[in-house]
Amino acid sequence: MSATLGDMTTIMKQIEDRTGREAVHVTSAERPVPLDFTYRETPIHETVDWLAETKRAPIYLVNFTQRECAEIAQGLTSMPLTTKEEKKGGPRQPRADYLFAVFEHFRSNHPWVGGDMIKPKSIGREMIEDYLDFGDYVKKYGLHRFEGVLLRNLSQLYKTLDQNVPDFVKDDYVLDVVGYFRSMLERVDTSLIEEREGLRHPELRLEEGVEDSHEAHRLLAIEELRADERKLGSRVRAEMRQLVRTLSQRDWEAAENSVRQPEDEVDRWPTERFLGAMAPFYEAFDKLVFDHRARLKDTTVITREGDKRWRITQNLFDPEDENLWYIEGEVDLDHRQGGPLVAITEIGS
């Protein structure tokens, strides 16, 4: 019986009279279904993701037709709410024992954290290990209808790494991970980066000559990169690795979008120029190797040539291990208008 019926004395007596058996009255102060109501205009997949994150599962969805129910159910199966290991019945979360132990230690010294438990996911780990772009991850798991959920997850991941991890523990590897996610998010949605980084220095918008938030963000980025060459190096390495990856896939259009395109038409690198520059390489070798060696720090050489100018050399790897090919580029902060930092100057051997 529902707990909303109030006094159950009469009903219990009727049950006992009809069945000849003793009836037990079970009561509870905690309702299994909270009596609250929220009207939301967000898409159903975002609402489900929010309910799961706020621990309001299990979630029941009601549809007017069977067809609508089947379509919604098919779409929800692609949501990244569980990892591949969880679906296979393996480890539920990456490094769960370590993460939970550290969190419990933190919570013991910070009682205001409350009873919520962390829920680590392996989305970011898989992307960095396989060096997947946003579009590649969406295609791999069929997340076309849930790109907003994935983008929010990655944006929160970047924010945590960039702002919550203390600078003194950010070694070159951590900085490269931060640079990877920042470069990826900037390619997907520049406004996410501008809004988040622009909030750190709102005074730039008040300076003379700064007309809008885009200009303020550009000036902020220039000054931060000038002051911190480690951060600049992580950004450059992320861009060059992404370029090498697109060249290894012979995705010339993606290669064009991975680099800064100068204003002068002669210095630009459109799709046809990448294709022509790499043609001799693919005549000599069947593939461009993009493995862990191509992502090592020393494969990208960064040389300072001025106050706001750096020369970039990226080594390329071939199956015969001759490794004589390279990519040369430059970073000129005086001509940066947002987007990628590196402008390509040469591909050869």
Q: Is 337 part of any domain?
A: yes
Residue that terminates a domain, selected from 45, 77, 109: 77
User: In the chain, pLDDT over 70 holds for what percent of residues?
Assistant: 76
Give the residue-averaged pLDDT of 26-38. 62
Q: In the prediction, which pLDDT does 217 show? A: 58
Q: In the prediction, which pLDDT does 116 show? A: 62
Q: Is 5 part of any domain?
A: yes
Give the residue-averaged pLDDT of 24-50. 71
Amino acid at 232: L
Let me know: does 15 contact 2? Beta carbons within 8 Å. Answer: no
Kind of pairing, strands 309-315 and 342-348?
Answer: unpaired
Give the residue-averaged pLDDT of 22-40. 68
Residue that terminates a domain, selected from 77, 104, 125: 77
Domain that holds residue 30: 1-77
Task: Identify which of 30-44, 84-98, 200-214, 238-252 has the greatest average pLDDT.
Answer: 238-252
209 or 187, which is more confident: 187
133-147, 212-226, 265-279, 311-325: the lowest-pLDDT one: 212-226
What gap in Å lies between CA 232 and CA 235, rounded to an integer?
5
What gap in Å lies between CA 181 and CA 188, rounded to an integer?
11
Residue that terminates a domain, selected from 77, 99, 126: 77
Residue 208 pLDDT > 50, yes or no? no
Q: pTM of this prediction?
A: 0.63
What gap in Å lies between CA 149 and CA 186, rounded to an integer?
17
Residue 169 pLDDT > 90, yes or no? no
Q: Is 315 part of any domain?
A: yes
Give the residue-averaged pLDDT of 264-271. 87
Q: Is 343 part of any domain?
A: yes
Q: Give 71's pLDDT tier (boundaries 50, 70, 90).
A: confident
Give the residue-averaged pLDDT of 65-86. 68
Q: Is 336 part of any domain?
A: yes
Residue 38 pLDDT > 60, yes or no? yes
Which residues in the chain belong to E strands, given as ranges? 300-306, 309-315, 326-332, 342-348
299 or 30, which is more confident: 299
Instruction: Report the helix count and the strand count for the chain, using DSSP H and E.
Output: 14, 4
**Which pLDDT tens digit goes with each residue over 112-146?**
766 666 666 678 888 888 888 888 888 888 888 88
Q: Give 316's pLDDT tier (boundaries 50, 70, 90).
A: very high
77 or 93, which is more confident: 77
Q: Give 231's pLDDT tier (boundaries 50, 70, 90).
A: confident
Q: Is 334 part of any domain?
A: yes
Phi, psi of 135 (to 5 degrees): -65, -35
30-39, 61-70, 103-112, 269-278: the lowest-pLDDT one: 30-39
Q: Is 225 part of any domain?
A: no
Q: Is 131 part of any domain?
A: no
Number of domain units in the chain: 2
User: In the chain, pLDDT over 90 holds for what percent of residues?
Assistant: 16
Q: Cα–chain-centroid distance for residue 176? A: 14
**Which pLDDT tens digit goes with each residue over 269-310?**
999 999 999 999 999 999 999 888 888 888 999 999 888 889
Q: Give 197's pLDDT tier (boundaries 50, 70, 90).
A: low
